[in-house]
Amino acid sequence: MFNDSESASDSDIEKRRGLSVRGIAEVANVVNIKKTFNRHLHFTLVKDRNVATPRDYYLSLAHTVWDHLCSRWIRTHQFYYQQDPKRVYYLSLEFYMGRTLTNTMANLGLTQAVEEALYQLGLDLEDIEEIEDDAGLGNGGLGRLAACFLDSMATLGLAAYGYGIRYDYGIFQQKIADGWQVEEPDDWLRFGNPWEKARPEYLLPISFYGRVDVGPDGSKRWVDAQTVLAMPYDTPVPGFGNNNCNTLRLWTAKAPQSFNLHSFNSGEYISAVCDRNQAENISRVLYPNDNFFEGKELRLKQEYFLVAATLQDIIRRFRNSKSYNHCFDNFADKVAIQLNDTHPSLAIPELMRIFIDQEKLAWDAAWSICVATFAYTNHTILPEALERWPVQTLAKCLPRHLEIIYDINQRFLAYVSERYPGDMDRIRRMSLVEEDGCKRINMAYLCVVGSHAVNGVARIHSDLIKKHVFKDFYELWPERFQNKTNGITPRRWLLLCNPGLSDLLSDKIGPAWITDLDQLRQLTDFQDNEHVLRELVKVKSQAKRKFADFVMREFKVKIDPSSMFDIQDRIIRTTQSANSPERLAALPTWPLRNIKAIIKLINSVAKVINNDPIVGNRLRVLFLENYRVSLAEKIFPAADLSEQISTAGTEASGTGNMKFMLNGALTIGTMDGANVEMCEEMGRENMFVFGMSVEEVEALSRSGYRPADHYASSPELRRCLDMIRDGVFSPPDNAGLFRDVFDSLVYHDRFMLLADYKDYIRAQDLAAETYLDQAKWSRMCLLNIAAAGKFSSDRTISEYAKDIWNVDPHGIKLPAPTSRL
């Protein structure tokens, strides 16, 4: 794995990774890195080259790169203190960061020097990079968006902080056994995490349970609560090509010394110590629910834990800042808090509780500060995803917050009835408290009422929330509603995952695209340049060959790199295990069973096709297990066709679609989410568009959708579905395994898939035909890349800065450091 060659000439290095923008391998830097690397191997890892493992090399390198971060990190926060700009706080239950080493080196401009230093030491950077475990503290799109936003906020130079939870276990590792999904715990901290600094000196107390005490003056106090401590771990977030280094602060739960004092006092020392785990379970594990609300007490405690620790920290920082004048009048001028979905929505009643119960502000004053401080991002309109906490659970865990929510609701409804006198139906519809069945709080409504800005994540999605979920609220406060179309960071999703394409682009249009993605428009100049188009094809072929090698190594499956790589990157995950038909049948709800069965079905179809002597040579189906950020980075550069096939109106935005586009894959897609804007940017002739529009979906829904009609009228569709029903893909001893999948499609088909089927096949045929015309295909690829500028998260963040946070989108430029380290 690690070769032993001496040293390389400069031209060798340039060949290996291109000179472009990966930083210049200055001799002084290379010497320095080698020295630091060896020093860490010796003093930090306490190993020599004879016994060092690949992981020791990874850790030595991580510590070496970390050393380059420290001064920038300290100086950034000194500078923020001196300048005292408005701070932006991004609150999210998920930060799906993936790997850190490559990104840090790229953003610091160290890649080239490190590569050369390692080469001189007989080590290979790419092999070392593969050792790092992903930080998988997210389910998918929502958590990855938060990670892309951190990169953009640091690169733009915003004084911004990410706040989240440091789960001991991130998203589970997905294994496929006999075609069934099996979940394994993601013990990502097992070998230590070199990218964080624990701050045990800054513990903060967090309360749960207890009751509300009313003082003689009518003031309220939360008393008799249990305390858990929140301990911060800081991760540096360096900007690209600047000297800024922001912070992602993640909280972990610690039991206080006094936890379970009762048992201590009664002499049950051992069990009292063991019980401390209970308190610390709050930050144990990420809930693997993507777009699905489960309503578990532990999840509520996680949400409050994040919010309570973060607000204490924000207020402490505000109090220590230069602009603090012993009151909270200017709080919202100095603090912007963005709520990533409703998961951190308890921040609204928590800030009210601090202002009213602790700081003794009057309700109206406190409320206007809150509304001016908070902004809320909605991520979905699917009803099963909306958080609606039972009043019972809130009353038990957070009694004072429930009271405050009731107070907010009472004042809000009074305002609504003033605006719409006598419109009782509207008042009932807009109540934060749902009375039908089990009493619940609608957290999305709480967010809309408690924020000055509400945004969707793609234009079509922002329009839909105004028409449906928040219709009444939009009528009341149209000025609150905005759109912020999602984006992705071009650093991770092009510069570092696709060096071949990066170098080609920099060669043709210069490297400015890395921080100004609109520069890609210049590529349109080359749309008829055969030479450039051939180079583009070559880069794609190389990436496909590399991916085919990887698939052979990792999955022992042979794929032909000259065939079309047609990829769907949807993640399918569920909480409960079903690794056999019996377990499948035992799952409580149909959607869960369906997902598990579909994973099994895909793998079964793959088995049949890949083993077919005729079809198997021309078509291969592959289910890549354990999809995650580091695997995604390998997939996008190799993709030819991107499947973005959600029924119109169901996908809020998508960001996978943007990653494919940026890496020169063509899209087959519906007019849904950000596909709509992608199509607009590239021109409809450069996308394989199919399926119903949102309007057509709505009309079909109103007129009564009958999937069985489509089944009956299309022989081809019927043949496919019958194969699923009749056991062509089923194991011999269980022919009826996929009967439920068939039934759900033919008799329910919630997402109207059968209605779109025919047009989908038409678009697939068109894509296949176009692929045979390499000249045309490569020209479309080029025009896709050229149109991807809008989908940089730098653009998204600039819009948040201007339209929601009221901070300068150009950020703060830190002066260059005086010394190298």
Ligand X SMILES: *Cc1c(COP(=O)(O)O)cnc(C)c1O
Which residue's CB is nearer to ligand X, number 394 or number 652? 652
Residue 2: CB minimum distance to ligand X, A:
29
Residue 141: CB minimum distance to ligand X, A:
4
Helix-helix angle 54-83:101-108, to 10 degrees: 50
Residue 493: CB minimum distance to ligand X, A:
8
Which residue's CB is nearer to ligand X, number 236 or number 654? 654
Which residue's CB is nearer to ligand X, number 145 or number 408? 145
DSSP β-ladder status, 433-434 and 245-254: unpaired
Residue 138: CB minimum distance to ligand X, A:
8
Residue 551: CB minimum distance to ligand X, A:
17
Residue 448: CB minimum distance to ligand X, A:
24
Residue 487: CB minimum distance to ligand X, A:
11
**CA-CA distance, 282 to 231, in Å (whole number)?**
12
- Pick the stretch among 215-223, 257-265, 625-633, 664-672 that binds ligand X (CB under 6 A): 625-633
Sort 298 into a burial class: Cβ within 10 Å, 0-12 / 13-18 / 19+. Answer: middle
Closest CA to 800 of 152, 330, 139, 79: 152
Which residue's CB is nearer to ligand X, number 116 or number 643? 643
Q: Which of 309, 454, 632, 682 binds ligand X (CB under 6 A)?
A: 632
What are the residues whose beta carbons fall under 8 Å from the beta carbon of 706, sequence distance 6 or more? none
Closest CA to 626 of 191, 177, 291: 177
Q: Which of 19, 512, 571, 609 binds ligand X (CB under 6 A)?
A: 571
Q: Which of 629, 661, 737, 788 binds ligand X (CB under 6 A)?
A: 629
Q: Specify whether the CB–CB gap between 197 and 282 falls below 8 A.
A: no
Write the single-letter amino acid at 611. Answer: N
Query: How many Å from the N-terminal Cα to the C-terminal Cα in the chain?
Result: 30
- Pick the stretch among 368-376, 472-480, 648-656, 706-714 that binds ligand X (CB under 6 A): 648-656
**CA-CA distance, 431 to 744, in Å (whole number)?**
35
Question: Does residue 642 bind ligand X (CB under 6 A)?
Answer: no
Residue 548: CB minimum distance to ligand X, A:
21
**In 84-204, where does DSSP find H-type helix?**
101-108, 111-120, 125-129, 141-156
Q: Specify whether the CB–CB gap between 753 and 711 falls below 8 A.
A: no
Which residue's CB is nearer to ligand X, number 440 or number 628? 628
**CA-CA distance, 293 to 383, in Å (whole number)?**
9
CA of residue 541 relative to chain centroid, distance: 29
Question: Does residue 487 bind ligand X (CB under 6 A)?
Answer: no
Question: Does residue 603 bind ligand X (CB under 6 A)?
Answer: no
**CA-CA distance, 686 to 782, in Å (whole number)?**
10
Which residue's CB is nearer to ligand X, number 635 or number 807? 635
Which residue's CB is nearer to ligand X, number 141 or number 162? 141
Q: Which residue is nearest to ligand X (CB)?
A: 656
Which residue's CB is nearer to ligand X, number 667 or number 798? 667
Sort 561 into a burial class: Cβ within 10 Å, 0-12 / 13-18 / 19+. Answer: middle
Question: Does residue 628 bind ligand X (CB under 6 A)?
Answer: yes
Q: Specify whether the CB–CB gap between 248 and 237 falls below 8 A.
A: yes
Count of residues in contact with ligand X, rule CB under 6 A: 12
Residue 758: CB minimum distance to ligand X, A:
24
Question: Does residue 656 bind ligand X (CB under 6 A)?
Answer: yes
Helix (H) or strand (E) holding 478: none
Closest CA to 605 of 617, 593, 623: 623
Which residue's CB is nearer to ligand X, number 141 or number 450? 141
Which residue's CB is nearer to ligand X, number 595 or number 720? 595
Long-range CB contacts for residues 617-625, cutoff 8 Å, separation at least 24: 618/563, 620/557, 620/559, 620/560, 620/563, 622/551, 622/555, 622/557, 622/559, 623/176, 623/599, 624/551, 624/555, 625/174, 625/175, 625/176, 625/555
Question: Does residue 649 bind ligand X (CB under 6 A)?
Answer: no
Q: Specify whether the CB–CB gap between 809 and 801 falls below 8 A.
A: yes
Residue 656: CB minimum distance to ligand X, A:
2
Residue 66: CB minimum distance to ligand X, A:
24
Question: Does residue 490 bind ligand X (CB under 6 A)?
Answer: no
Which residue's CB is nearer to ligand X, number 654 or number 664? 654
Residues 122-161 that bind ligand X (CB under 6 A): 140-141, 144
Question: Does residue 654 bind ligand X (CB under 6 A)?
Answer: yes
Residue 686: CB minimum distance to ligand X, A:
20
Question: Does residue 655 bind ligand X (CB under 6 A)?
Answer: yes
What are the residues whose beta carbons fall under 8 Å from the beta carbon of 673, sequence distance 6 or more? 458, 460, 461, 644, 646, 651, 652, 653, 654, 657
Q: Name the residues that contact ligand X, by CB under 6 A.
A: 140-141, 144, 569, 571, 628-629, 632, 654-656, 659
